[in-house]
A and B are shown apart, each in its own frame.
Chain A
Amino acid sequence: GENVEQHPSTLSVQEGDSAVIKCTYSDSASNYFPWYKQELGKRPQLIIDIRSNVGEKKDQRIAVTLNKTAKHFSLHITETQPEDSAVYFCAAMGSNYKLTFGKGTLLTVNP
């Protein structure tokens, strides 16, 4: 089955700096890669996603890149703000609609 590795497990940055979170996946059949943000006590919420036919996608301060050959994808957050502090999960979905999550990254943005 699919295995998703996520690094780092914790990340602390100063407000205004950039944050990068990296994930690798094992199943070459996976074709959809969402990123979720989960604040304490709340549901996971999609912040950006990318499909296997695209190499990069950007939405304001958030961007995701995908390297299918290397089977890795990354989340980039620029100009970080304290409200970006949360746990971020990467995930990979294959053709069976099974979504496999990475272990998560606790991002802390210090004012």
Chain B
Amino acid sequence: DTEVTQTPKHLVMGMTNKKSLKCEQHMGHRAMYWYKQKAKKPPELMFVYSYEKLSINESVPSRFSPECPNSSLLNLHLHALQPEDSALYLCASSQHSTGGTEAFFGQGTRLTVV
């Protein structure tokens, strides 16, 4: 299984809603990532989890709250988002290796904030 699975595929939420994005992988990867991608732009790193611990937070606003309940799951909790937060949210995972390894991306959640 070389898949990273994200749910839901599409999400429309109001600015007062609370929602969660979910990501799952069963490749035994111990590094997991959240990226945000706006149209015609590269993926922009938000968070990195290493062995289920948050290792990088790229100064992301607190209305985005990541969670890594176990080595296979990664969540992104959303609260009080703004319309400019509308984007494709990509989850990725990779092995831990000092030489660097391939990051496998999920198909993404397309989020629209209204």
Name A's B-contacting residues (CB within 8 A).
31-34, 42-46, 49, 51-53, 89, 93, 95-104
Residues of A within 8 A of B44 (CB): 101
Residue contact B105 to A96, C-beta cutoff 8 Å: no
Q: Is B94 an interface residue (CB 8 A)?
A: yes
Which positions 73-114 of chain B face chain A at CB distance < 8 Å?
A: 90, 92, 94, 96, 98-108
The count of chain B contact residues (Cβ–Cβ below 8 Å) is 27
Residue contact A98 to B56, C-beta cutoff 8 Å: yes
For A53, give the chain B residue with the smallest CB separation: B99
Residue contact B100 to A43, C-beta cutoff 8 Å: no
A15: min CB distance to chain B, Å:
24
Residues of A within 8 A of B106 (CB): 43
Residues of A within 8 A of B100 (CB): 31-33, 49, 51, 93
A96-B55, A99-B33 are known; give 11 further A-B pairs, CB within 8 A. Answer: A32-B100, A32-B101, A34-B103, A43-B106, A44-B105, A46-B104, A49-B100, A95-B98, A99-B92, A99-B103, A102-B42
Give Cα A72 to B90, complex, Å.
27
What are 5 A-B pairs at a CB distance below 8 A?
A43-B90, A43-B106, A96-B56, A97-B55, A104-B42
Residue contact A98 to B105, C-beta cutoff 8 Å: no
Name B's A-contacting residues (CB within 8 A).
31, 33, 40-45, 48, 50, 55-56, 90, 92, 94, 96, 98-108
Q: Which of B33, B42, B96 contacts A89, CB < 8 Å?
A: B42
B60: min CB distance to chain A, Å:
14
Give Cα A103 to B44, complex, Å.
10
Residues of A within 8 A of B101 (CB): 32
Q: Which of A32, A45, A49, A97 contacts B105, CB < 8 Å?
A: A45
Residues of B within 8 A of A96 (CB): 48, 55-56
